[in-house]
Amino acid sequence: MSDPLIMGILLVVLLGLLAMGVWVAVALLSVGVVAMVFFTSAPVGQVLATTIWGQSHSWALAALPLFILMGEILLRSRLSEDMFKGLSPWLGRLPGRLLHVNILGCAIFAAVSGSSAATAATIGKMTVPELEKRGYPRRLVIGTLAGSATLGLLIPPSIILIVYGVATDQSIARLFIAGILPGLMLVAMFAGFVVLSSLLRPGDIPEETETFTLWEKIVAVRRLIPVLLVIAGVISSIYTGIASPTDAAALGVVFSLILAWATGSFSLQMLREAIMGATITSTMIAFILAGAAFLTVSMGFTGLPRNLAAWIGSFHLSQLALLGALTLFFVVLGFFLDGISVVVLTTSIIMPIVEGAGIDPLWFGIYLVIVVEMSQITPPVGFNLFVIQGLTGINILSIARAALPFFLILLAAVAIIIAIPQVVTVLPGMMGS
């Protein structure tokens, strides 16, 4: 049977299972079993057992539940309230004024949660009612929240970068460091869009009636110090080599517990809820990773990735043409799958092609995350859109329209890192290999 026919059959099986609402992890495992049973002579049970066991005891993967737990604890603390009160006195005179709270608040929370949906939910609960009460246009309030929450996937510590690092055997520490400059670049691009919009349509932005003295601003910014210390402690321990990502994640949990206790939001009930939330999220991701690992191994037995890479290589596409095709592919795939599923589902097939084209896997990880960020704000399966719909009750298509400028900004960011790859590679290069 020809490779294209085998690939077609497996793709139909996968899409059929997903269309029926089967869990992504079960669908991946099922396709792997079909591939092994019908297109190889390898022992399915033995390969399945050894692959899942090998995947489940990866030390690098231990960072995942710890970072998720850190985010869950901070999600239940007074972090978002303190961020709004700490940032707003400084932003009242900027073009766009308090809309920048959405952007900077999301950037700060992204650095401690690692999750796009958690960032949208936490910051949105605080800023959406407050900004609408002050008369800011709903389109910009919703758009800045939806777009800026995608930073949760990129700014370290990022859950999806851990997943990519485990799936492709890349250094998670170097991936984290590689995400810093692109993340800051996106913050600046989002803020620039808000400034430009407010200058072009100044009547949309209400005047701020509150005024603050310099001392009041300094007092207010003290609210940001604890969470900034948590971020600095986690990132600097990784960057200086004092701690591995897993050790830094454990430090982050300790710091977040201290912060919750210091702000008076710590309780045993809160801790139980945080642990349960982290357990549910972590097991879901681990299950998806196990299914993806088995599918990767089964694909290796069939020889499809190698043959597909050779087939695409026969077209002699330039790196730019290949990246253009992959961008379109990932955006379309993101219409139907969440970001983590996109990463684990495609890496086994895509990485041989990427490496064969001479593209740096570290750079490709950041590129992939930015492209996946786009899928967070595109219907029908844009997680940020669903979160914001739950917060506001607004029609999901209206939210998608408000987020469209930020989708285009993410697309521009992809073009920038393709044109200037040093934006991604310069900091990891300073770390060494």
What is the Cβ-side half-sphere exposure of residue 164, based on CA atoms within 13 angstroms? 30
Q: How open is the CA angle 236-237-243, to the nearest 5 degrees?
A: 160
Per-residue pLDDT at 89: 77
Q: Higher pLDDT residue, 429 or 223?
A: 429
Range among 71-85, 256-270, 293-307 with highest mean pLDDT value: 256-270
CB 284 within 8 A of CB 23: no
Q: Which two tokens stand for residue 26?
A: 């079960």
Nearest to 112 by CA among 82, 145, 156, 60: 156
Reduce the DSSP state of residue 270 to 3 states and report it. helix
- d(C-alpha 44, C-alpha 394), whole Å: 48
What percentage of the chain has pLDDT greater than the value 70?
A: 90
Average pLDDT over residues 119-147: 82
Q: How open is the CA angle 23-29-31, to the nearest 5 degrees?
A: 100
Per-residue pLDDT at 306: 65
The band of 203, judged by pLDDT with boundaries at 50, 70 and 90, is confident
Nearest to 157 by CA among 57, 223, 248, 220: 248
The band of 412, judged by pLDDT with boundaries at 50, 70 and 90, is very high
Reduce the DSSP state of residue 124 to 3 states and report it. helix
- d(C-alpha 353, C-alpha 341), whole Å: 19
- d(C-alpha 50, C-alpha 61), whole Å: 17
Residue 154 has pLDDT above 90, yes or no: no
- d(C-alpha 225, C-alpha 108), whole Å: 11
The band of 392, judged by pLDDT with boundaries at 50, 70 and 90, is confident
Nearest to 180 by CA among 8, 431, 355, 433: 431
Residue 80 has pLDDT above 70, yes or no: no
What percentage of the chain has pLDDT greater than the value 90?
A: 11
210-237: string of b/e by CB count within 10 Å (b at 16+)?
Answer: eebeeeeeeebeebbebbeebbebbbeb
**CA–CA distance from 158 to each of 105, 190, 427 (Å)?**
16, 19, 17
Q: Which two tokens stand for residue 184?
A: 């800051």
Domain range for 264: 3-431
Q: Is the peptide bond before 379 cis (omega within 30 degrees of 0)?
A: no
List pLDDT tens digits, range 46-65: 888 888 887 777 666 777 78
List, in order, residues 6 or more apart from 75 with CB less than 8 Å away.
113, 118, 121, 122, 274, 277
CB 132 within 8 A of CB 126: no
Average pLDDT over residues 107-136: 76
**What is the total count of domains within the chain?**
1
Nearest to 87 by CA among 58, 127, 136: 127
Per-residue pLDDT at 420: 94
Q: Which two tokens stand for residue 314?
A: 């026969």
What DSSP string runs through 219-239?
Answer: HHHGGGHHHHHHHHHHHHHHH
CB 318 within 8 A of CB 371: no
Per-residue pLDDT at 49: 87
What DSSP string runs through 397-408?
Answer: HHHHHHHHHHHH
List pLDDT tens digits, range 270-310: 889 889 988 887 787 778 778 877 877 887 787 776 676 66
Residue 114 has pLDDT above 80, yes or no: no
Identify the DSSP state of 61: G
Give burial (CB, 10 Å; 0-12/13-18/19+) of 314. exposed
Nearest to 233 by CA among 215, 260, 255, 258: 255
Looking at residue 339, its amino acid is G
